[in-house]
Structure 1
Amino acid sequence: KDSPKGATMYVTLEPCVHFGKTPPCVDAIIKSGIKRVVVCEKDPNPIVNGKGISQLRERGIKVDMYDTKGVVRSINCGFNKWIVEKKPYAIVKIASTLDGKIADRRGDSKYLTGESIRRAVHKMRYRSDAILIGAQTVIKDDPLLDCRLFIQTSSKKPARVVVDGNLRLNPEYRIFREDGALRIILTSKTAYDRKIRLLKRFESIGVQIVPFKTQDGVILIKDILEYLGSMNILYMLVEGGQRVFTDFIDSKEADLLVMNMSPRVFGAGGIGFYSGDREYKFSQLHYLPYESMIFDRDVLISYYREGSDVYGIDRSYSLD
């Protein structure tokens, strides 16, 4: 076995200095005899921030900071946000027509975009710790939310999270039949207390039902993110539908909007991705464009929420 003595070590995040689930990384590095450490990013955790670098330098180990121009921050953005806010990095993916419609007037939205861009979405799912959708999307599409277009088999299965304030769903939908994946329904305390028999049916197949207090009958996005953050979920992909998209936009809790646009126009009667009655001033700019990509006939444009780039900007949609 080769000895690391005298070697250079490259790390995406500053080595830790505290006891957690494992002993401090800094101690192991010092004992190993490594002479140089290249660090891509300081750990935003106040317990660590800069202390790991200082301790290594105090013990005579050369530490260089590497300017990655945001590449590593895009990898670490979920951790960076969670460690500061204890909430997951929320990516809202919206597949729409050129006129901003997510379904036609009949509610049909399946395969609005082509397979090439859907493969990028499946990669985003694979990167995520959880995928969140609303009850109406389950009723309309009966989705699996798998990653098959990116990877056929994997032991990593993102949690499936469904917002169903009135507990309208039943255990027969495919999303609740995914073996090995954590399945969670977020509902109102009122529905939780009222539908005892349905709760038992869900619990019999391993689906967790979590009750929330509501405000004007709505589960607050802030409360959802805080709950999922308490479960150590760092990355969450939000896939619809209209009500969920609207709540994330109005609450300003979406860190990244990923717009997947099909070259179609549904026109009058189509269902838009935003249904709120809130009026925003023309001067208000909440999301800033980050990058665009072409996938055959479809176009992907990502926008980050103003201020969220302090944690980095996710690029899990890229197939590079």
Structure 2
Amino acid sequence: MTAPAFSEDDRHFMRVALSLSKRGLGNVWPNPAVGCVLVSSDGTIVGRGHTQPGGRPHAERVALDMAGDLARGATAYVTLEPCSHVGKTPPCATGLIEAGVLRVVSALTDPDPRVSGRGHDMLRAAGIKVDVGLYDDEARRVNEGFLSKAERLRPFVTLKLASTLDARSATKTGESQWITGPAAREAGHLLRANHDAILVGANTVIADDPSLTCRLAGRSHQSPLRVILDRAGDVPITAKLIETADTVPTWLVTAEQNFAELSEKFGKTSVKVIAAGCADAHLDLHDVMRKLADEGLSRVLVETGGNLAAGLIKAGLVDRIIHFVAPSVIGGDGKAMIADLGLEKLETAPRFKRISDQKLGQDIAVTYDKITE
């Protein structure tokens, strides 16, 4: 099939739709973050929308409601194929058809087996012109979490690291606040706001008793769900994450054999306990990620100590690393940013490619994506 020829206007309006889609990151799971723009025949935007918190209404529905009768004869620019299945809301493809839209430009085909081309087919069967593939790479990046959940049955995992120039995350006594400066910490809170969940290990909870909330002005309501990995059930019921679970959802993942005991331990709290399998006296991290995907999570930010970071890297579960680097040195007696990986040969080292870097005051943030074969 010949690739469609897109005009400069097409590119402009899809960029607007992509910008809208990013507004949903971190607060629309289990649904994808989608943007939609409706443009009349004279080039005027008559409707725009993005997926709303909790995943509905969908972007197309928001844009159609804004446009009203002006949607008739318009072109819809959508960052993901309009849905075709009946869920808690009617299919978006049906909504576009009933509104009288004449053309739909989609960035991506939806990999969800309930859709996967059926939405586009419904539109074409109704006489609507459908063009697919405009800015598909950028659309995939915006919805890399949703696509990972659909295609790999696990969330997209981002590991956040903060260290000195010599890759130390704390002094030998464990002091780590604050290695990086205010601008870097603000960027870290923005990362939290743009993810479905933030994951930590039990040791981090016990040692630091963190809150793991988003403390950006005006975005505290976007604090992500908190996930604690606690194989043995060591996290105390007095931990901040446990005590505040009624205001910020908190899940605790433990070994299957401890599920009943911990369900009782946390029974009077708002913590949700999830059971996962074990491997070599540790939680099976692949099973953990499958369970999180089954619960609807698609974008997980990891903020934890060196041991869990090493475990996730060794398991091949880290898709992106965002490394905040401060211009200071702690020395060899400080705590390593990542624990032992047991490597003997460089050729077996996990490889990442640098995607971007950003200056944040005196610190820098470098983003790396995993190199896949």
Tell me the TM-score normalised to structure 1 length. 0.87
SS at match of 1:53: helix
Q: CA RMSD in A?
A: 2.1
Residue 150 to residue 42, structure 1, CA distance change in 2 (3 Å): farther
User: What residue ranges of structure 1 are gaps of 5+ in the alignment?
Assistant: 309-320
Query: Is 1:227 paired with 2:294?
Result: no
Query: Is 1:92 paired with 2:159?
Result: yes
Displacement of 1:199 after TM fit?
5.2
Displacement of 1:150 after TM fit?
5.2
Q: In the alignment, which residue of structure 1 is the partner of 2:120?
A: 53
* AA aligned opposite 2:339: S
The separation in 2 between residues aligned to 1:111 and 1:70, in whole angstroms, is: 37
Q: In the alignment, which residue of structure 2 is the partner of 1:174?
A: 240
* AA aligned opposite 1:60: G
Q: In the alignment, which residue of structure 1 is the partner of 2:135?
A: 68
CA displacement 1:29-49 (0-9 Å, x = unmatched): 112101121212221224433
* AA aligned opposite 1:6: G
Taking every aligned residue pair, what percent have the same amino acid on both sides? 32
The separation in 1 between residues aligned to 2:109 and 2:151, in whole angstroms, is: 13
Residue 206 to residue 159, structure 1, CA distance change in 2 (3 Å): same
The separation in 2 between residues aligned to 1:190 and 1:33, in whole angstroms, is: 56
8 A contact 2:156–2:319 mirrored in 1 = yes
Residue 79 to residue 277, structure 1, CA distance change in 2 (3 Å): closer
Q: In the alignment, which residue of structure 1 is the partner of 2:303?
A: 239
CA displacement 1:140-193 (0-9 Å, x = unmatched): 221111111254542x44221111222222121212222322212222345556
Q: How many positions carry a matched residue from both structures?
A: 304
8 A contact 1:120–1:150 mirrored in 2 = no
The separation in 2 between residues aligned to 1:192 and 1:46, in whole angstroms, is: 32
Q: In the alignment, which residue of structure 1 is the partner of 2:340?
A: 276
Displacement of 1:254 after TM fit?
0.9
SS at match of 1:26: helix
Q: In the alignment, which residue of structure 1 is the partner of 2:361?
A: 296
* AA aligned opposite 1:165: R
Residue 164 to residue 60, structure 1, CA distance change in 2 (3 Å): same
8 A contact 2:251–2:272 mirrored in 1 = yes
8 A contact 1:110–1:141 mirrored in 2 = no
Q: In the alignment, which residue of structure 2 is the partner of 1:104?
A: 171
Query: Is 1:261 paired with 2:325?
Result: yes
SS at match of 2:159: strand
Residue 192 to residue 33, structure 1, CA distance change in 2 (3 Å): closer
8 A contact 1:160–1:184 mirrored in 2 = yes
The separation in 2 between residues aligned to 1:17 and 1:5, in whole angstroms, is: 20
* AA aligned opposite 1:266: I
8 A contact 1:107–1:140 mirrored in 2 = no
Displacement of 1:69 after TM fit?
6.4
Query: Is 1:212 paired with 2:279?
Result: no
* AA aligned opposite 2:186: R
Tell me the TM-score normalised to structure 2 length. 0.76
Q: In the alignment, which residue of structure 2 is the partner of 1:165?
A: 231
Displacement of 1:51 after TM fit?
3.2
Q: In the alignment, which residue of structure 1 is the partner of 2:267?
A: 203
Q: In the alignment, which residue of structure 2 is the partner of 1:312?
A: none
Residue 177 to residue 44, structure 1, CA distance change in 2 (3 Å): same
Displacement of 1:116 after TM fit?
0.9
Displacement of 1:218 after TM fit?
0.4
Once the two structures are superposed, the pairs formed by residues 8-157 of structure 1 within 5 Å of their partners are: 8-65=75-132, 67-68=134-135, 70-149=137-216, 151-154=218-221, 156-157=222-223
8 A contact 1:246–1:273 mirrored in 2 = no
8 A contact 1:119–1:150 mirrored in 2 = no
The separation in 1 between residues aligned to 2:263 and 2:147, in whole angstroms, is: 36
Moved >6 Å (runs of 4+)? none
* AA aligned opposite 2:178: Y
* AA aligned opposite 2:176: S
* AA aligned opposite 2:195: S
Q: In the alignment, which residue of structure 1 is the partner of 2:50?
A: none
User: What residue ranges of structure 2 are gaps of 5+ in the alignment?
Assistant: 1-67
Higher relative contact order (CA 8 A, sep 6+): 1
